[in-house]
Amino acid sequence: MAVTPENVISLAASPLQYLSWVQLALSAVGALVAYQAASLVFTYWRHTRSPLRKIPGPALPHNWLTGSQHVFFDGEGMQHLDNWGKTYGGNFTLRSTLGSYQLVTTDERALTHVIFATGVFHKRTTERRGLLRLLGQGILYTEGEQHRDHRRILNPAFGYSHVRDMNDQFIEIAIKMREIWHNKCIAAGGTVQLDALSWLSKATLDSIGIAGFGYDFGALNENGVKNELYAAFERLLRVDNKPTAELRALLENLFPILRRLAPSARARETDLSKKLMDDIGMGIVQEKKKAVLANMAGSRVEKKAMGGKDILSLLIQANLAEDLPATQRLTDEEVMAEIPSFILAGHETTANSTTWALYSMSLSPDVQEKLRQEILQVGTETPSLDTLNSLPYLDNVVRETLRLHSVATFVGREAVQDDIVPFGRPVLDRDGNEHTQLKLQKGDQIIVPISLVNRSTAIWGPDADKFRPERWDSVPQGAASIPGIAPSLLSFIGGPRACIGHRFAVAEMKALLFHIVRGFKFSLAIDKSELWSRTGTLLRPQLRKDNSVQLPLLVTPIA
């Protein structure tokens, strides 16, 4: 390079330019940190003014950053809620992140208000951040008008008639799993030990893949080879039970900048798996959309005149219907986001619920045998959904399992504006004053304690903690006030955000139980004391000795 006055000036100025960029970056980081600090101070100050501060509850733990949330990291969340409910009654407060208040209530009138006032109460901000990162803008993430658009298009696909059509697929997969178990029993010479949860997870994944979007995960294939989408989803939702990992996830949702500036190895793995799932999911959407458009060619299709088989095809048909206003149509990205939403909502939830049914019947052999005798009266191995629903004791067992072992033990809601919550029974504050309503500030949170309501002794009597399917032959009058979409149960929530797939889940659960109970006798392979109910994202059975999530059963085929 020739030495010229211009070059000399440029070389001399470059360090200054570099320094100015460093200063600019440091200034930006400093401003961001200052903004975050100011936000934290303001948030904490606002929480100290919350009307909920006068409602009794556990004292603020020493860790003001996470509050009482840290007790849920040890997996004993449901047990803690039970203990607090016994100490403080049906209404009490917890201190959450940054000193915020959470009102836990079992009051049916208050719960009805919170569940149905979806314009006032949304999913908590930290939860929505996590859902957006994992699933995208699907039905589990969206709120307000956007959620109503998703639900309006999806509702027909989850109606009883379509779920009835899917039953043949549920039965086929249940038979496939039964045959695998039977072959293992033969190879073992009779009785074999199996991890029921693992096998049920595979069966329900295959069910949601085929019935949900016409995709074969091949989870029940015994060659040990996982297809690309199966492996990506498994990595995406891999559970790390270490308290430090759950704390890290909480902090990343609370302060998203942490994930951007210093992502953990788990965060990087999640992002890569999500991108792979999005790529595969968009391919599935485009393929389904092409098929739907080909079928629609030359004919006018209305939203109510849907054909097709799997849920995704029905969704795409409804989304392309000419009588659907353009403002209510979903984008391809929103449609694609329903795929991981279907998997998350319809896979592990049903697998765990069915697992808890087997656990309960392992401890109650009389219930197991009574159900078996009812099922054996059915003269076919491929019963219709109408036939399954006509079996009263099977229905009782399913309902009792969902009541006693609700896999979602609680859900959280956050006020997006100030509100007044009414109560059916007076709330007693720390000063002994009674309140028939409570004023909530924007940002205050409500915990809907599903497990406490489902096992309330005030509703179900002194044996509310006991597995007794016969109680559903005569449901207590008080259970009618539970604001759930399933009668007398809060397991699927209620109102505009009720679980859209509750019929799907119950039908799948009945198909699996029909063939397991019909084909095998089963009991726990270990002592009951070696298992505990771990409360995390879902309620799962876990071994105490190594913290592995499983349900070991001794399974014997019925001749």
Q: How many other C-beta atoms are found inside a 10 Å radius of the C-beta of residue 167?
A: 22
DSSP state of 415: E
The residue to which tokens 């000193």 are assigned? 99
In the chain, the amino acid numbered 274 is: K
What is the token pair recorded at 317?
A: 């048909």
Side by side, the strands of the sheet bearing 552-557 are 192-195, 552-557, 520-524
Calculate ∠ Cα 486-177-551, nearest 5°: 70
Outline where DSSP puts E strands in 61-142: 91-95, 101-105, 121-123
520, containing H or E segment: strand 520-524
Q: How far is CA 114 from the centre of its chain?
A: 19
What pairing do the DSSP bridges indicate for beta strands 91-95 and 101-105?
antiparallel
Q: Digits of tens for pLDDT over the chain (559 positions)?
A: 454 544 544 544 455 455 566 666 666 666 666 655 666 555 666 666 678 888 998 876 656 666 676 666 556 667 788 888 888 889 999 887 777 789 999 999 999 999 999 899 999 888 888 888 888 899 999 999 999 999 999 998 999 999 999 999 999 999 999 999 999 999 999 999 999 999 999 999 999 999 998 888 889 987 766 678 878 877 776 655 555 566 666 667 667 777 777 777 777 888 888 888 888 889 999 999 998 888 877 555 444 444 457 999 999 989 998 888 988 899 999 999 998 888 888 888 999 999 999 999 999 999 999 999 999 999 999 999 999 999 999 999 999 999 999 999 889 999 999 999 999 999 999 999 999 999 998 888 999 999 999 999 999 999 999 999 999 999 999 999 999 999 999 999 999 999 999 999 999 999 999 999 999 999 999 999 998 887 766 888 989 898 889 999 999 999 7
Q: Cβ neighbours of residue 304 under 8 Å, at least 6 residues apart? A: 156, 321, 323
What are the structural domains of the chain?
136-410+449-557 (1.10.630.10)
Q: Can you give the pTM of this predicted structure?
A: 0.87
Report which of 447, 446, 445, 442 is spatially closest to residue 42, judged by C-alpha positions: 442
Nearest to 383 by CA among 166, 207, 171, 179: 171
Q: What is the pLDDT of residue 344?
A: 82
499 is in an annotated binding site: yes
Give me the pLDDT at residue 5, please. Answer: 46
Number of H helices, E strands in the chain: 20, 12
pLDDT at 12: 45
